Structure 1
Amino acid sequence: MFDLKNVTIRSRSVSSMDNNVYVLTDRDTGAQVLIDAAADFPAIRELLSEAAADAAVPAKVELIVTTHSHWDHVRALAEAVQATGARTAAGREDAPDIEVPTNMLLVDGDTLHIGGPGGFELEAIKLRGHTPGSVALLYRDPNGPAHLFTGDSLFPGGLGNTQQDPERFASLYADVVERVFGQLPDDTIVHPGHGAGTTLGAERPHLPEWKERGW
């Protein structure tokens, strides 16, 4: 858990694939964002209940964002939408492959406003390669390091799987270098779609190695 001044970030690993589910809760408005409704809705419901205690007012899931369309990241999406009534968002190119209708089609640079004037913002960063429409979500904490939710595009030790396709790898590498490492400082905290987190500073020295090996 990251207990920030304005927002709390809670996560839960679900399924045998160690999918990370994230919930961001605004302390003042109770507005919540769920990132990647993967696999296990009972576990997600429990996570949402725990996160609701972080707000000064009753909490409500306003938006469920899917970082990319792969099946392990959307298996609980229908249940989550039915239970919360939340709107959905995903990258424009990936939305047709998600069975649950997508209300917001995200493109690079979109800003998501959560909780109205007293809430918080997330920025969408398109990272093309793992899937055509993969998106990362950036929360700029005004009181500390930024938090970047990267789906399956960036992990400790390398980029997401591009199936040994040179063009897909080149696309993902270029986007990650230009739109992430080229724009954000080393203390940015990375929250990936599976496994443990990292920081951009820990990964930056390895960029030439990733480029050389091609994965």
Structure 2
Amino acid sequence: MSSYSGEVTPGGAPDTRELDSLTITKVAVDEKMSNNCYLITCKHTGEAVLIDAADSAETLLPLIGTTPLTHVITTHQHWDHHRALADVVEATGAATVAGTPDAEAITTQTGVPIALDVAQGDTIPVGSCTLEVIALAGHTPGSIALLYTDPDGHPHLFTGDSLFPGGVGNTFGDQAAFEQLYDEVTTKIFDRLPDDTWFYPGHGNDSTLGVQRPHLGEWRERGW
């Protein structure tokens, strides 16, 4: 039985989940924002990707170590999710990835060009495994989630700031943006994926779609 809980704190130890083909390592950075960063490593090739070089290169680079890092995926353009992007890319030579509508803003904020801008249904290799891009506009125009469909288990979904335990991401009082994000999360995630899908958000603890599904109506009713 895996001991993975997904409960991490800035300055604390990472938590690692072992799948048949991938290793998922979650670490939190920045005491104030407590961003989650995810190092996903292919067991067959040893290659890895990093989801959100959010902060603290001094934490992320030792975590990566000598692992060949092929891509750094930024889930969206907000400043707290890419503060270590330049340092990680400089140290590793990894290719940068972001949703097309957010790519220019990320480059403007970080000075790092986006090598691969992606849209709904695109794929990103993790060694011999694959992450599928799910575009989720609302929190930002180009927010993306990354789906790993485990052939030997349940799906794993990295949601950035678009889905958390307890609701969709913050849309800052913009009702139209909330409705867009709610509809996209509902149709592209909850209507498609099973209850045992485990999701990993950009901040805080993980959850499963099955735990959250009964509350979708509440989220719609409250409007955030």
Q: TM-score, normalising length from structure 1?
A: 0.93
* Matched residue SS, 2:98: strand
Residue 55 of structure 1 corresponds to: none
Residue 175 of structure 1 corresponds to: 184
Report how far residue 142 of structure 1 moved: 1.1
Residue 163 of structure 2 corresponds to: 154
Report how far residue 145 of structure 1 moved: 1.1
Report how far residue 3 of structure 1 moved: 0.4
Residue 41 of structure 1 corresponds to: 57
Residue 188 of structure 1 corresponds to: 197
Report how far residue 22 of structure 1 moved: 0.2
Residue 29 of structure 2 corresponds to: 14
* Matched residue SS, 1:124: strand
Contact 2:162–2:169 (8 Å) recurs in 1: yes
Structure 1 position 129 matched with structure 2 position 115: no
Structure 1 position 71 matched with structure 2 position 71: no
Structure 1 position 105 matched with structure 2 position 117: yes
Report how far residue 40 of structure 1 moved: 0.5
Structure 1 residue runs without a partner (length 5+): 53-58
Structure 2 residue runs without a partner (length 5+): 1-15
Residue 40 of structure 2 corresponds to: 24
Report how far residue 113 of structure 1 moved: 2.3
Report how far residue 28 of structure 1 moved: 1.5
* Matched residue SS, 1:5: coil
- The aligned length equals 204
Q: TM-score, normalising length from structure 2?
A: 0.89
Residue 70 of structure 2 corresponds to: 62
Report how far residue 48 of structure 1 moved: 1.4
Amino acid at match of 1:25: T
Residue 56 of structure 1 corresponds to: none
Q: Deviations over 1:13-70 (max 9, x none)?
A: 0002110000000112111010000111011112213xx6xxxxxx300000000010
Amino acid at match of 2:95: R
CA RMSD of aligned residues (A): 0.8
Q: Which runs of 4+ in 1 moved over 3 A?
A: none
Contact 1:140–1:147 (8 Å) recurs in 2: yes
Q: Deviations over 1:119-177 (max 9, x none)?
A: 10000000000000000000111111111000000000001000111110010001000
Contact 2:41–2:126 (8 Å) recurs in 1: no
Return the alpha-carbon distance in structure 1 between the equivalents of residues 35 and 101 of structure 2.
22
Q: Deviations over 1:54-98 (max 9, x none)?
A: xxxxx3000000000100000000000000000010000000111
